[in-house]
Chain A
Amino acid sequence: MTDAFIYDAARTPRGKGRSDGSLHEVTSLALSARLLNAVKDRNGLEGNAVEDVIWGNVTQVKEQGGCLARSAVLASDLDERIPGLSINRFCASGMEAVNLAANQVKAGAGSGYIAGGVEMMSRVPMGSDGAAIAVDPTVAMNQYFVPQGISADIIATEYGFTREEADKLAVESQNRAARAWQEGRFARSIVPVKDQNGLTILDHDEYMRPGTTMEDLAKLKPAFKDMGEVMPGFDKVAMLKYPHLDRIEHIHHAGNSSGIVDGAAAMLIGNEEFGKAHGLKPRARIRATAKIGTDPTIMLTGPVPVTEKILADSGMSIGDIDLFEVNEAFAAVVLRFMQAFQVDPGKVNVNGGAMALGHPLGATGAIIIGTLLDELERQDKTVGLATLCIASGMGAATIIERV
């Protein structure tokens, strides 16, 4: 079978996902189009150069609705003969875009793709597209729906993670992200966001809080305790699903959960001929991809079974992986991953993660593959695995191998 290679990885800095965030003034369309232009320019893509633009995006309403991918192609300098596909697999949308592109390349359906995603969380609020799983009783009640924060707290309760462990991981994420910026480790990927006049709007990740201490985090109140214990009482729903639990430990808060931010990411994926045709050197091979459905109530445990699956599918073992990116949706998700595979914490999220830098839903999957690749190159290691937990109980993973 044909190999699929990563030729480029680019991302915007992440802006605070609030009305006072730096990127709040930028439309989802403009952010997408300008990043597509950067990929085009960085790689000299002229004409009908790629088969498709696959764009992950979760909240597909209003300006992110109506197949934003196609609008972004048309708003960019890309050729109009390049179509666009908006896809949604919640938090793994950006990864799914990359995987879909890679697998089509491997199958011979097109030689090159741009794949990535965008989420302007300050402009199109999370959840504003509705969700049957949360409100339609035929699924919400029968599947014991609880919000993600409750799910993360269930993981902590079930697998015995304390508030202190979660906070420690959050502090570590902040420290690593700060070091990464100090040392310019994101330099290759970052494409500053500029306005229509070429003036810079944002050139750094602005959500992070370097120097955050355990004491700072200790002041934060658990974010999901009230909705769990009082109104509307999701803990009771959780206990229907997990009758061995006496209570849910609410350990998560804003500091040890992923940040709400604006941002976009894109990768250029293609086969060997694609690289030759455009004079590009492949950076890594996409060795394997996987996705899996898991228990929707605890919801966020997907990284463990999907990692088991991707390793089994590709005939690898956990020891074959040099570095990991496990999306920091909530501290407990990463703690559970490290606990399950007993991996060295030094190999996981080397440059921090979403707790420090933020999690622009539709883009994160592509961002972490790019971050993984940059770090493999920096450390001169070979194989990396990226994985994310996904709403409604799913998991996705990608294994890349430098070439």
Chain B
Amino acid sequence: MTDFIMKKDADGVAVITWDVPGKSMNVLSLEGAAELDALIDDALSDEAVKGIVITSGKKDFAAGMDLNVIAQMKGGGAQQVFDGIMTLHHALRKIERAGMDPKTLKGGKPVAAALPGTALGIGLELPLATHRIFAADNPKAKIGLPEIMVGIFPGGGGTIRLSRKLGAMAAAPYLLEGKLSDPKKAKAAGLIDEVVADPVAAAREWVLNAKDADLVKPWDQKGYKMPGGEPYHPAGFMTFVGASAMVNGRTMGVYPAAKALLSAVYEGAQVPFDTALRIEARWFTNVLMNPSSTAMIRSLFINKEALEKGANRPEAPDRSVKKVGILGAGMMGAGIAYVSAMAGIQVVLIDAKQEAADKGKTYSEGLLDKAISRKKSTEEKKAEVLGRITATTDYAALEGCDLIVEAVFEDPAIKAEVTKRAEAVIPQDAIFATNTSTLPISDLAKASARPEQFIGIHFFSPVDKMMLVEIIKGQQTSPRAVAKALDFVRQIRKTPIVVNDARFFYANRCIIPYINEGIRLVAEGVSPVLVENAAKMMGMPLGPLQLVDETSIDLGVKIAKATRTAMGDAYPDGNVDEVLFWMADQGRLGRKSNAGFYAYGDDGKRQGLWDGLAARYPQSDDQPDLTTVQHRLMFVQTLEAVRAFEQGVLEDIREGDVGAILGWGFAPWTGGPFAWLDMLGAARAVEICDRLSAEHGERFAAPQMLRDMAESGQSFYDRFGAGKKAA
């Protein structure tokens, strides 16, 4: 099997086509890189070859490095990683120098890249090493370096080449934020050189006509100066002072890759190019050896993809949804209708009043209009998508639906009623899904005539933005229903986790204690500023108080009341409710009432924490240290995840980790709660739990599973790594 094929033609152009067998997208493996290197050697040494064009046999150029390979590379230790990266650097540098005399800079062979579509990661780093990049005029193509999103940074020369090509400031969005651009914007930004109808033809033409001077990169010319200035140039100095501050501020200092990337740029800017590549390799090795990058790649790439591809899907034929009936056209129903119609599924959107159903459809119209104004969609596409949505009050329209998603009020009686009405119309084999965040599925299934075809699908709000979908199996839910739900989630391009039926399922089960712990700290007299910052400095996107402001305080009150009724005397959160209920009594319901734990301006903009809180809950003189606050906020979520796994609600720690990051933004740098515990080590985690539970209560008691692991020295991923069950 070969990943690269070279054809030399009569004009003296060697066209190297990247076409990895059996994959829809090219990814670079170590073997592939060696193949490419051998072909380049061949072409450079062949007198008959005048120029080289590198392109793809697929509709896109490449998705990047094979992250599975990257994950494995570190097994050999730092030296092996470093050597591997340097080998790649040498291969790419060979392309860039293309056989030219290093002194006279003459005699090299022109190499051009022809990108038919998307070019990401090494898929852009390779073209950056060539002499000219041609991209097809394909507005759907994405060009960029997204490595930072999975906890690493461009380590195939992309960091050094792009920062030298564009300057540190202009390269920053691409390097530090993983910004992706379509070909036209990529050209405007200086990432690529030309946007053409036929990139291979244009590249062939170019290599046949290129002059010696066209092959010399600015940084290989005498007197090269970094655009915007290197770090000790007066203007560059200000850029680099600002860069450290901005990266620190935006990442809250928790992402090692961002720091390492910036160091590679800073140190690389002060030395000759080849030395800079070595510096990049040292920092890349450093990041790869950091447990955070391992955990992030594992959760955000490998396991996320595995779950999306059906790692936990029961064996069953394809059950893709053709027509979905959505009951309830409120916020959630409208969102589900939109993502379904976008996926090409016929949608019947039902509400009790036509007006409400229409409003639900208008929601899609609004999102599409916004997309059009941002040039992300067209009028035709809008008409097509809206054409798939039938907004009605008539249950008879549900005829022929193979899936129902019920998204009416969180009221068992109303849910039971619509279940019966829908089941009277829909086909016998249709699957009925209820979108609930709090009500037990098995109870709701009692209203169904076909409980084995009844399942929970918990969407997060806003549906079009949130990537996680939690699928909940009731006691009688069949594998067939699970397969259907998973196929639906795949169609709408979201990431599923499958959990068993228990109070609050998985995500809310962990989020609620996080919010409660934040409120409890305030009740204890801990500075709310410290609470919020402590959470953010652990990498939580929102502090617990901001989160409850967003989700609304009255919802918190409602959940607390229901939970208290259900749990009776065992209810542990009385002191939390004290604060929560008081806030609600003040009319401070969160963002929606423009007043919550935070103060909001008349424009709805969040200002500082509300100072009235201090009057009611005075801050104690003796504030806890940052680490204690952080441990409380993190362990309260993490231990709940472990309990969910221990109790079998969660069946797969991969789902626990991926779900935590996508569902509620659990500190992505950790790779998820289980990965975080592995990073800490079970023994240390138990030690912290023992201290926290002694000082702050039983909710921090280490679960038996964690104690056992501390005893045996195991980690979660050793023991339960590839979907192994807890039981």
A residues apposed to B, CB below 8 Å: 127-128, 130, 134-138, 140-142, 144-147, 231-234, 236-237, 239-240, 243-247
CA distance A255 to B656 in the complex (A): 57
Inter-chain contacts of A138 with B (CB < 8 A): 259, 263
Size category, B interface: 20 to 34
10 contacts between A and B (CB under 8 A): A134-B237, A135-B232, A137-B262, A141-B262, A142-B259, A147-B241, A237-B249, A240-B248, A243-B626, A247-B608
Inter-chain contacts of B234 with A (CB < 8 A): 128
Are B533 and A140 in contact, CB atoms less than 8 angstroms apart?
Answer: no
Inter-chain contacts of A247 with B (CB < 8 A): 608
CA distance A240 to B254 in the complex (A): 11
CA distance A240 to B251 in the complex (A): 10
Are B245 and A145 in contact, CB atoms less than 8 angstroms apart?
Answer: yes
B293 within 8 A of A: no
Are A244 and B245 in contact, CB atoms less than 8 angstroms apart?
Answer: no
Inter-chain contacts of B246 with A (CB < 8 A): 232-233
Inter-chain contacts of B267 with A (CB < 8 A): 136
Please list the 4 inter-chain residue pairs (A to B) with the smallest Cβ-Cβ separation, ordered nearest first.
A236-B249, A232-B242, A243-B533, A135-B240
CA distance A138 to B247 in the complex (A): 12
Closest Cβ–Cβ distance, residue A271 to chain B (whole Å): 43
CA distance A270 to B626 in the complex (A): 50
B385-420 interface bits toward A, Cβ cutoff 8 Å, 1 = contact, 0 = none: 000000000000000000000000000000000000
B266 within 8 A of A: yes
Q: Of B241, B259, B534, which one neighbours A135 at CB under 8 angstroms?
A: B241
Are A240 and B253 in contact, CB atoms less than 8 angstroms apart?
Answer: yes
Are A135 and B245 in contact, CB atoms less than 8 angstroms apart?
Answer: no
Q: Which residue of A lies closest to B608 (CB)?
A: A246
Closest Cβ–Cβ distance, residue B634 to chain A (whole Å): 15
Closest Cβ–Cβ distance, residue A255 to chain B (whole Å): 24
Closest Cβ–Cβ distance, residue B601 to chain A (whole Å): 15
B residues apposed to A, CB below 8 Å: 231-232, 234, 237, 240-250, 252-253, 259, 262-263, 266-267, 527, 529-530, 533-534, 537, 608-609, 623, 626
Closest Cβ–Cβ distance, residue B567 to chain A (whole Å): 34
Inter-chain contacts of B259 with A (CB < 8 A): 137-138, 141-142
Are B529 and A146 in contact, CB atoms less than 8 angstroms apart?
Answer: no
Q: Which residue of B lies closest to A246 (CB)?
A: B529
Inter-chain contacts of B243 with A (CB < 8 A): 137, 232
Inter-chain contacts of A243 with B (CB < 8 A): 529-530, 533-534, 537, 626
Closest Cβ–Cβ distance, residue B600 to chain A (whole Å): 15
Are A240 and B537 in contact, CB atoms less than 8 angstroms apart?
Answer: yes
Are A127 and B608 in contact, CB atoms less than 8 angstroms apart?
Answer: no
| Contact status of A141 and B244, CB under 8 A, knowing A243-B537, A246-B608, A246-B609 | yes
Are A136 and B263 in contact, CB atoms less than 8 angstroms apart?
Answer: yes
Q: Given known contacts A136-B267, A243-B529, A243-B534, what 18 new A-B pairs fall within 8 Å (CB)?
A: A135-B231, A135-B244, A136-B231, A137-B243, A137-B244, A137-B247, A137-B263, A137-B266, A138-B263, A140-B241, A145-B245, A232-B246, A232-B249, A233-B245, A236-B248, A244-B529, A244-B623, A246-B609
CA distance A147 to B238 in the complex (A): 11
CA distance A144 to B232 in the complex (A): 20
Inter-chain contacts of A141 with B (CB < 8 A): 244, 247-248, 253, 259, 262
Closest Cβ–Cβ distance, residue A116 to chain B (whole Å): 29
CA distance A245 to B623 in the complex (A): 13
Q: Which residue of A lies closest to B263 (CB)?
A: A137
CA distance A160 to B232 in the complex (A): 36
Inter-chain contacts of B530 with A (CB < 8 A): 243-244
Inter-chain contacts of B244 with A (CB < 8 A): 134-135, 137, 140-141, 145
Q: Which residue of B lies closest to A146 (CB)?
A: B245
Closest Cβ–Cβ distance, residue A135 to chain B (whole Å): 4
Inter-chain contacts of B534 with A (CB < 8 A): 243
| Contact status of A144 and B248, CB under 8 A, knowing A232-B242, A244-B527 | yes
Closest Cβ–Cβ distance, residue B705 to chain A (whole Å): 32
Inter-chain contacts of A240 with B (CB < 8 A): 248-249, 252-253, 533, 537
Q: Which residue of B lies closest to A136 (CB)?
A: B266
With most chain A CB atoms within 10 A of its CB, the pick from B244, B246, B249, B252 is: B244
| Contact status of A135 and B249, CB under 8 A, knowing A141-B262, A243-B534 | no
Inter-chain contacts of B529 with A (CB < 8 A): 243-246
| Contact status of A127 and B237, CB under 8 A, knowing A137-B259, A141-B253, A240-B252 | yes
Closest Cβ–Cβ distance, residue A129 to chain B (whole Å): 9
Closest Cβ–Cβ distance, residue A90 to chain B (whole Å): 17
CA distance A234 to B626 in the complex (A): 20
Inter-chain contacts of A232 with B (CB < 8 A): 241-243, 245-246, 249
